[in-house]
Amino acid sequence: MAFTTLRGASSGLLAVLKKGPRLRRRGKQPAGVPGEAAHPAPAAPGNAIASLAPLTEVIRQYLDPKDVERVKEAYRFADQAHLGQFRASGEPYISHPIAVTEICAGWKLDAASLMAALLHDVIEDQDVSKQEIAERFGADVAEIVDGVTKLQRLEYASKAEQQAESFRKMLLAMARDVRVILIKLADRLHNMRTLGAVSAEKRRRIARETLEIYTPIAHRLGLNALFRELQDLCFQAIHPNRYRVLHKALLAARGNRREVLSKIHEAVSAALPAAGIEAEISGREKSLYGIYKKMVEQKKSFSDVLDIYGFRIIVHTLPECYLAMGTLHQLYRPVPGKFKDYIAIPKLNGYQSLHTTLIGPYGTPVEFQFRTRDMDHVAEEGVASHWLYKDPNVSLNDLQKRTHQWLQSLLDIQSQTGDSGEFLEHVKVDLFPDAVYVFTPRGKIISLPRGATPVDFAYAIHTDVGNQAVAAKINGEFAPLRTELKSGDSVEIVTSSASRPSAQWLNYVRTGRARSEIRHYLRTVKYEESVAFGRRLLLQAFDQLNLPYPDDDDPEWEKLAKGSGAQSRDEILADIGLGKRLAAVVARRFAPENAMVATTAAVVDEITATTATPILIHGNEGQAVQLAPCCGPLPGDAIIGGIRLGHGLVVHMAECSVAQRQRAREPERWIPVAWDTKTARHLTTRLDVTALNERGVLGRLAAEITEADSNILHLTMQDDDVSATAVLHLTLQVDSRNHLAQVIRAIRHVPQVKKIVRVKG
């Protein structure tokens, strides 16, 4: 079965750190755990007794006896503090701190971290002071406990403010001491494992909070085992039915593919030792949430997700990773494009591994991962692997250095920004890599979807910036408006009051805002320009008929609109401007005989034959009047105008071959036009320049064009090996025919130039 929507997923970051109501003194009504309602002790005897024995066995393996005793002392203090307090499941509350500490011990955290994990709720729940903890267990432990506790005392009037501020406090506490967030993640993991005792509504709320805040942090810190488990637990809580269906399907698929996987395992187990490679081979199964997410994003059914199972090859040295991969590439055929080298280029969270997909028996694609044991340890436990904390005598590994730099950057950002929302936007750059985060020239972060362009960026700044964008500077260098942005880019938009949105932008913008703004502009502005130009054409037609132009409230407008299917007078004028109606026919509707005249060539000839005043062209009228790109007419050229259906008036050079062919087919759509005394600047024209293909000729040519106050918009070159010449096809910006003549004279100063031709059709 295929799921195509992810229902119930909330948007934005949720405030997750505030606990439910807590009682401040021992002996009062017992409290619950974060997200769980407090319950009194069950009346029936036989509650489970929390034991420290399993934890003690684990920590004895890597802590000194003295530190083990300190952890036990912290347990006794926490047990006394939580005496009489029970979880929603009915278990003694102390079972929760013990479970959290066991998770931390699995990461081999230091004694201070384990003590803080045992004590992490005593300040919040039982009103134990930070000073009391410092006196009994040391300032280090007290600071960690206080850091975890502060994350839960958040009360703000605005939900958005609460979300941003809670996230800010969490990350700043983590930046000062990463052990704070490790304990908090362990705390959240145990709460997610024991959500069964709370209501379905609370389960979904806590799961969404976890999925949107804690799982990205776990991933950023490289805690992949924790990351995957949290995702699956959240999936189970938010969509229990879908979880059950997928879990059942996965078990069935596991049985169906057992034979294939066994064959692959046997073949690999034989091939690697034969190549002199000692390796540990283990099966790898995609997480349920990972399968579900792939089904949703790619709109696939479960049977179409082929990379559910795979193998992990763990070797001793880095070179053996590549040797093992090469050996298996000889055993099975690799799938092109499915190789990823995360060893040479590690992921941001320190993950290193080689990934390749091979076609196994029966044509089944199977993914293999190759890594050393150290890489595997880092891949599963991230920043918690090979735990080192503030030990000046031990060098940090690359992952810990990167993590330390990222955490330090949080403090740097905080010192520069006092606003929680702005701080959050900065941090999102690293926590949510699916989006692209770019900077304005003033350093503000703009969030855009992957694949966004400077046009998306411009509209994210302001509608007017987007509407007037002409170019972009990315990291200080000019770049096309269709360039895809990358996280960290600094973007500056160059604007011009004469610039207007182009329909071409819709081909590469990604944001809904940019797309809607462009479409809105094209609809409204084109309509307004068409109305204005239609009025000009209609005024001309009335002048040639020696008729007065009707008032806007003339009832004849309404009759004409109803008779022709239009909604209003402006729509009639817009249709004239867009070439959907002929001004001559509309004008005759207001003639004294008051008879609707059909659109015939004879009527048009009658009007145009007496036309003495042409339509004046400025060159910047907008979309209602366009200069034909085929010939690029310039002020000073003889021009003609054709009404093109849906496009308005298109102005050509009189000698343009394209215009002459069109005029021969539809003579009724052509009207006399002329240049106004004041015309637009920076109009486009084209030149073909033939020159000797020698070194430096292009630079000389560009310099002369610049000296003539012109600009090259586009350039292509065609070589001729026989004559050792090249034809350069130039698209230039000039002001008029006279300006173009100046540019041509400047180009002739280049000795290598042999021929210059203006393209006119």
| Distance, CA of 642 to CA of 662 (rounded, Å) | 8
Active-site annotation holds for 110 = no
User: Is the predicted pLDDT of residue 476 greater than 80, yes or no?
Assistant: yes
| Distance, CA of 50 to CA of 571 (rounded, Å) | 80
Query: pLDDT tens digit string along 521-533?
Result: 776 776 777 777 7
User: From the CB of residue 29, how many other CB atoms can be counted at a distance below 10 Å?
Assistant: 11
| Distance, CA of 550 to CA of 137 (rounded, Å) | 94
| Distance, CA of 681 to CA of 42 (rounded, Å) | 86
| Distance, CA of 81 to CA of 26 (rounded, Å) | 7
Contacts of 578 (CB under 8 A, 6+ apart): 530, 534, 624, 645, 646, 647, 648
Q: Residue 103: in which H helix or E strand, if any?
A: helix 95-106
User: Is the predicted pLDDT of residue 370 greater than 90, yes or no?
Assistant: yes
Q: Is the pTM of this model over 0.95?
A: no
Q: Distance between alpha carbon 562 and the CA centroid of its chain, in Å?
A: 49
Q: What's the DSSP call for residue 478?
A: E
What single-letter amino acid sits at 660?
A: Q
Q: Which phi and psi angles does 722 have, rounded to 5°? A: -70, -50
What single-letter amino acid sits at 707?
A: E
| Distance, CA of 162 to CA of 492 (rounded, Å) | 32
Candidate list 110, 121, 124, 229, residue with the active-site label? 124
Q: Which phi and psi angles does 54 have, rounded to 5°? A: -60, -40
Q: Which domains does the chain have, with CATH numbers?
A: 53-238 (1.10.3210.10), 251-384 (3.30.460.10), 434-510 (3.10.20.30), 559-675 (no CATH), 683-758 (3.30.70.260)
Provide the percentage of residues in the chain whose pLDDT is more than 70.
74
User: Is the predicted pLDDT of residue 38 greater than 70, yes or no?
Assistant: no
| Distance, CA of 160 to CA of 353 (rounded, Å) | 39
- pLDDT the model gives residue 393: 45
Query: pLDDT tens digit string along 226-237?
Result: 888 999 999 999
User: Is the predicted pLDDT of residue 428 greater than 60, yes or no?
Assistant: no
Lookup result for tokens 């479970």? 99
Q: From 645, 664, 720, 712, select the one nearest 690 (Cα to Cα).
A: 720
Q: From 326, 330, 327, 332, select the one nearest 362 (Cα to Cα).
A: 332
Active-site annotation holds for 125 = yes
User: Is the predicted pLDDT of residue 49 greater than 80, yes or no?
Assistant: no
User: Is the predicted pLDDT of residue 165 greater than 90, yes or no?
Assistant: no
Answer yes or no: are the C-beta atoms of 452 and 472 closer than 8 Å. no
Answer yes or no: are the C-beta atoms of 732 and 758 closer than 8 Å. no
User: Is the predicted pLDDT of residue 5 greater than 70, yes or no?
Assistant: no
Provide the percentage of residues in the chain whose pLDDT is more than 90.
12
DSSP letters for 704-735 = HHHHTT-EEEEEEEEEETTTTEEEEEEEEEES
- β partners of residue 675: 617
Alpha helices of 155-281 — where are they, by DSSP H?
159-176, 178-193, 200-209, 215-220, 224-238, 240-256, 258-274
Q: What's the DSSP call for residue 633?
A: -
Across the chain, what does the average pLDDT equal? 76
**What does the pLDDT average to over 205-232?**
83
| Distance, CA of 474 to CA of 298 (rounded, Å) | 32
**What does the pLDDT average to over 274-298?**
84
State how beta strands 615-617 and 673-675 pair. Answer: parallel
Query: pLDDT tens digit string along 64-91?
Result: 899 999 999 999 998 888 888 888 888 8
Lookup result for tokens 């807590």? 22
Candidate list 36, 102, 121, 125, residue with the active-site label? 125
Query: pLDDT tens digit string along 676-732?
Result: 888 877 788 889 999 888 888 888 888 899 888 888 888 888 877 666 888 999 988
| Distance, CA of 556 to CA of 566 (rounded, Å) | 13
> CA–CA distance from 742 to each of 630, 683, 705, 734 (Å)?
22, 15, 9, 10
